[in-house]
């Protein structure tokens, strides 16, 4: 099982675009990101307190899980040095810098160990349960950092034990919840453009709401952004929702840390920050869960609709799907004055193939015929499997000779692909119906005529094409 997980992780690393990069380059990239993110977090510290918002740990964890090709052995010492340098150059004592770095690394390593075996779908939050799984993993990462960080808060930062544990845990968890979902759901090429287009609409509106929230003040400030977050989540925009919640959480944490949102009073500053962090974490998880749920339901609906019109074995259109698509093709051809060709193709003696070689061999032949048909016609043509071993093709714009020639090529190709796929000798029969562009007719009439000619081909000895 362990080896299987390693193999799965290796395949994922190779597929994410980073698997082929030199180890030294990846180490330099990660250390640079850690250094910049850590310095940004340190900049939000007030006097001797912890950072108002610490993005470094969440960014490293999110990167390593989202793009497994970055998870090389050299990443860990490089990240350790970058954390250490960031603290030292900003005035921390060597003792404090080392303890803080160890706490940071503990959280990242523990979170990565928990999530490294997740499937691609789980890492991209494909199902609502994946959000709960992510929350538990991030809580484990936050607990790992707290285990080393809280004692440092007591000894080196003069915190009480309870305050150190609560402060460290909530600060880590809030940053993880803010950043990691946005990195895990970062869209691939297919979804990047629509997601970015949606962000261009949503972000300006969010900024207006955030300014209004600051003007109103706590605790109502958080409420004003809810309508926008609910809107994006109900649209199933998981990445956009994650980015918006990231902006909301960073904005309010910095506003509270700097005193813009509410002036922290001695003795209440830590309590106020923990309360805000808890509220922001819950605020982020709600819309994220809704967005993931909506997207999962849309995916299930699309899958169900696809199954309703496609053959599950070959992936071709079934009779219902073929008739709908071919009817549209016929309607367009009639408008343009183009001829229509319908080819009915049947594998000869297919039951004998199943009986002699088994159903697995028969399925292999059907799948091979599917691929042959798909590669042998144009993208505009319509292909379907309307029976056990019966296929049909509809083409627009071919004259009768070209349609007959296509039918013969497809029919003769069946024997070649059957031999190649399963080592089986097979043949096929075909019937062709052709309708001139100026001649009125229906799809049902064409299918009936092609079927009649297929019957003639079968009765005349099989392994032949019959046309008008």
pLDDT given for residue 421 in this prediction: 67
pLDDT tens digits, one per residue of 110-169: 999 999 999 989 999 999 999 999 999 999 999 999 998 888 777 766 777 888 898 889
Residue 275 burial by Cβ neighbours in a 10 Å radius (0-12, 13-18, 19+):
middle
pLDDT tens digits, one per residue of 9-49: 444 444 455 667 788 888 898 999 999 999 998 887 765 56
Confidence of residue 290 (pLDDT cuts 50, 70, 90): very high
Phi, psi of 448 (to 5 degrees): -65, -40
pLDDT given for residue 293 in this prediction: 95
pLDDT given for residue 329 in this prediction: 92
pLDDT tens digits, one per residue of 295-330: 999 988 888 888 888 888 888 899 999 999 999 999
pLDDT tens digits, one per residue of 4-16: 444 444 444 444 5
Whole-prediction pTM? 0.73
pLDDT at 366 over 60: yes
The matching CATH number, chosen from 3.30.70.270, 3.30.300.30, 3.40.50.920, 3.40.50.300, for 319-466 is 3.30.70.270
Mean pLDDT within 77-92 = 92
Mean pLDDT within 423-445 = 86
Which two tokens mark 185?
A: 């759901």
Mean pLDDT within 380-406 = 91
Assess whether the previous peptide bond of 219 is cis (omega < 30° from 0). Answer: yes
Q: Where in the chain is the domain with CATH 3.30.70.270?
A: 319-466
CB of 42 closer than 8 Å to CB of 86: yes
pLDDT given for residue 17 in this prediction: 59
pLDDT given for residue 265 in this prediction: 46
Which two tokens mark 207?
A: 């900024």
CB of 143 closer than 8 Å to CB of 103: no
pLDDT at 264 over 60: no
Mean pLDDT within 414-424 = 78
pLDDT at 285 over 50: yes
pLDDT at 374 over 50: yes
Flag the least confident range among 233-237, 257-261, 275-279, 435-439: 257-261
Residue with tokens 């803080």: 100
Mean pLDDT within 370-377 = 89
Which two tokens mark 461?
A: 């000895």
pLDDT given for residue 439 in this prediction: 77
Question: Which carries the bigger pLDDT value, residue 256 or residue 27?
Answer: 27
Please write down the HEC assignment for all residues of the chain.
Answer: CHHHHHHHHHHHHHHCCCCCCCHHHHHHHHHHHHHHHHHHHHHCECCCCCECCCCHHHHHHHHHHHCHHHCCCCHHHHHHHHHHHHHHHCCCCHHHHHHHHHHHHHHHHHHHHHHCCCCHHHHCCCCHHHHHHHHHHHHHHHHHHHHHHHHHHHHHCCCCHHHHHHHHHHHHHHHHHHHHHHHHCCCCHHHHHHHHHHHHHHHHHHHHHHHHHHHHCCCHHHHHHHHHHHHHHHCCCHHHHHHHHHHHHHHHHHHHHCCCCCCCCCCCHHHHHHHHHHHHHHHHHHHHHHHHHHHHHHHHHHHHHHHHHECCCCCCECHHHHHHHHHHHHHHHHHHCCCEEEEEEEECCHHHHHHHHCHHHHHHHHHHHHHHHHHHCCCCCEEEECCCCEEEEEEECCCHHHHHHHHHHHHHHHHHHHHHHHCCCCCEEEEEEEECCCCCCCHHHHHHHHHHHHHHHHHCCCCCEECC
Mean pLDDT within 193-209 = 82
pLDDT given for residue 269 in this prediction: 59
Q: For residues 410 and 465, give the distance between their C-alpha atoms in angstroms, rounded to a whole number.
A: 10
Mean pLDDT (the chain) is 85
Q: For residues 397 and 341, give the distance between their C-alpha atoms in angstroms, rounded to a whole number.
A: 8
């Amino acid at each position: 099982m362990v080896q299987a997980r390693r193999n799965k992780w290796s395949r994922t690393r190779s597929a994410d675009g980073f698997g082929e990069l030199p180890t030294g380059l990846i180490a330099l990239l990660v250390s640079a990101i850690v250094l910049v993110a850590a310095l940004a977090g340190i900049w939000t510290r007030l006097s001797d307190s912890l950072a108002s918002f610490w993005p470094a740990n969440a960014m490293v964890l999110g990167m390593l899980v989202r793009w497994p090709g970055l998870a090389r052995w050299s990443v860990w010492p490089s990240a350790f040095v970058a954390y250490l340098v960031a603290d030292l150059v900003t005035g921390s004592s060597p003792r404090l810098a080392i303890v803080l770095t160890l706490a940071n690394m503990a959280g990242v390593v523990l979170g990565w160990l928990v999530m490294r075996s997740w499937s691609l779908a789980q890492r991209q939050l494909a199902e609502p349960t994946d959000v709960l799984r992510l929350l538990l993993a991030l809580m484990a990462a936050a607990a790992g950092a707290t285990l080393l960080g809280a004692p440092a808060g007591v000894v080196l930062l003069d915190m009480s034990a309870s305050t150190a544990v609560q402060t460290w845990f909530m600060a880590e968890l809030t940053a993880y919840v803010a950043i990691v979902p946005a990195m895990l759901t970062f869209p691939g090429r297919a979804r990047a453009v629509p997601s970015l287009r949606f962000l261009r609409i949503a972000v300006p509106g969010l900024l207006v709401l955030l300014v209004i929230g600051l003007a109103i003040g706590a605790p109502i400030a958080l409420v004003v952004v809810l309508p926008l977050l609910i809107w994006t989540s109900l649209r199933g925009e998981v990445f956009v929702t994650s980015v918006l919640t990231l902006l909301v959480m960073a904005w309010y944490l910095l506003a509270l840390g700097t005193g813009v949102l509410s002036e922290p009073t001695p003795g209440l500053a830590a309590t106020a920050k923990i309360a805000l962090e808890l509220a922001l974490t819950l605020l982020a998880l709600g819309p994220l869960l809704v967005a993931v749920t909506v997207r999962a339901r849309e995916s299930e609906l699309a899958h169900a609709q696809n199954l309703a019109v496609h053959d599950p074995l070959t992936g071709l259109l079934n009779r219902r799907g073929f008739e709908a698509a071919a009817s549209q093709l016929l309607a367009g051809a009639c408008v343009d004055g183009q001829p229509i060709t319908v080819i009915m193709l049947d594998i000869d003696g297919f039951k004998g193939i199943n009986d002699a070689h088994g159903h697995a061999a028969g399925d292999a032949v059907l799948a091979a015929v599917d691929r042959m048909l798909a590669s042998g016609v144009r993208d505009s043509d319509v292909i379907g499997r309307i029976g056990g071993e019966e296929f049909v093709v509809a083409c627009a714009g071919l004259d009768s000779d070209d349609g007959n020639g296509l039918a013969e090529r497809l029919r003769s190709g069946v024997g070649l692909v059957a031999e190649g796929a399963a080592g089986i000798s097979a043949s096929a029969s075909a019937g062709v119906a052709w309708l001139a562009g100026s001649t009125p007719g229906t799809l049902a009439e064409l299918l009936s005529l092609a079927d009649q000619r297929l019957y003639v081909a079968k009765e005349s000895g099989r392994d032949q094409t019959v046309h008008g």
